[in-house]
Homo-oligomer: A and B are copies of this chain.
Amino acid sequence: MSTFYGTIFLMNSKKQNSYHHGNLKESLLTTTLHMVESEGLDAITLRELTQRLGTSRSAVYRHFESKEALMKGVIEQGYTQLDKLFTPIFKDKSRSVEERFERMSRAYLEFAMEHPNLYRLLFGERFREEREGICDYRDETQATGLYALIGLLLEAQEVGIVEKADPMIQAATIWASVHGLASLLIDGHLMMSDNLEEIYRYMYISLLKGLR
């Protein structure tokens, strides 16, 4: 995912010998996201963050009410990145429904495993309040949540590879499976990295089989 953060270093560097940073708010969001990804949620301290940007701690409070408000902004950025990653897969009408399904679940799991810290930020136990209003699965414009999955399910129902039933409930079923596997893996509950592919295949196949 090098494309995600390609512009970081330009944005982070403070304008030389200037009192004002220039675009501190943006830099704060981007750098925090970067730090979360590479070092985890616990590594985020305002001191470390502002030190990297060459500003003082209290400068943060000119742009965000609190650290949590900053994190809320970072979460928003994270979901945007997710959308950018997933929307093309969902909307790629050149591929069959089956293919899109397969690619979708794979991409989801891969994202979780390649960016465990970011995944925990977006879907984990912390920042539940900060997430409110950001990740609404009923928002049609968001591919992140359940909504895009529902569209795909409706197509799948037409093609006949998924039984006709409430797509919302089917989407929840699928999301639960994939999110559950991702969570168990990145949080160290399933220590089976050797046969991960096997597990994934079995889960994916039996998942579709169960929905047929």
For residue A111, CB closer than 8 A to chain B, the reply is no
For residue A202, CB closer than 8 A to chain B, the reply is yes
For residue A179, CB closer than 8 A to chain B, the reply is yes
Contact B172 A184 (CB under 8 A): yes
For residue A72, CB closer than 8 A to chain B, the reply is no
For residue A195, CB closer than 8 A to chain B, the reply is yes
Please report whether the interface of chain A is mostly helix, strand, loop or mixed according to DSSP: helix
For residue A170, CB closer than 8 A to chain B, the reply is yes
Please measure, in the bound complex, the distance between the C-alpha atom of A184 and the C-alpha atom of B171, giving whole angstroms.
Answer: 12
When distances are taken between beta carbons in the complex, the residues of chain B under 8 Å from A198 are: 166, 169
| Interface hits, A157-196 → B, CB 8 Å | 165-166, 168-170, 172-173, 175-181, 183-184, 186-190, 192, 195
Please measure, in the bound complex, the distance between the C-alpha atom of A188 and the C-alpha atom of B22, giving whole angstroms.
Answer: 37
The count of identical subunits is 2
When distances are taken between beta carbons in the complex, the residues of chain B under 8 Å from A173 are: 177, 199, 202-203, 206
For residue A69, CB closer than 8 A to chain B, the reply is no
For residue A126, CB closer than 8 A to chain B, the reply is yes
With A125-B126, A177-B180 known as contacts, the answer to whether A190 contacts B172 (CB < 8 A) is yes
Contact B210 A172 (CB under 8 A): no
Contact A183 B179 (CB under 8 A): yes
For residue A131, CB closer than 8 A to chain B, the reply is yes
For residue A59, CB closer than 8 A to chain B, the reply is no
Question: Measured between C-beta atoms, what is the minimum distance from A86 to chain B in Å?
Answer: 15
Contact A132 B181 (CB under 8 A): no
Question: Measured between C-beta atoms, what is the minimum distance from A149 to chain B in Å?
Answer: 12
For residue A209, CB closer than 8 A to chain B, the reply is yes
For residue A107, CB closer than 8 A to chain B, the reply is no
Closest to A208 in B: B210
For residue A124, CB closer than 8 A to chain B, the reply is yes
Residue pairs across A and B with Cβ atoms less than 8 A apart, 9 shown, are: A123-B187, A128-B187, A137-B189, A166-B198, A170-B202, A175-B180, A176-B180, A176-B181, A206-B207
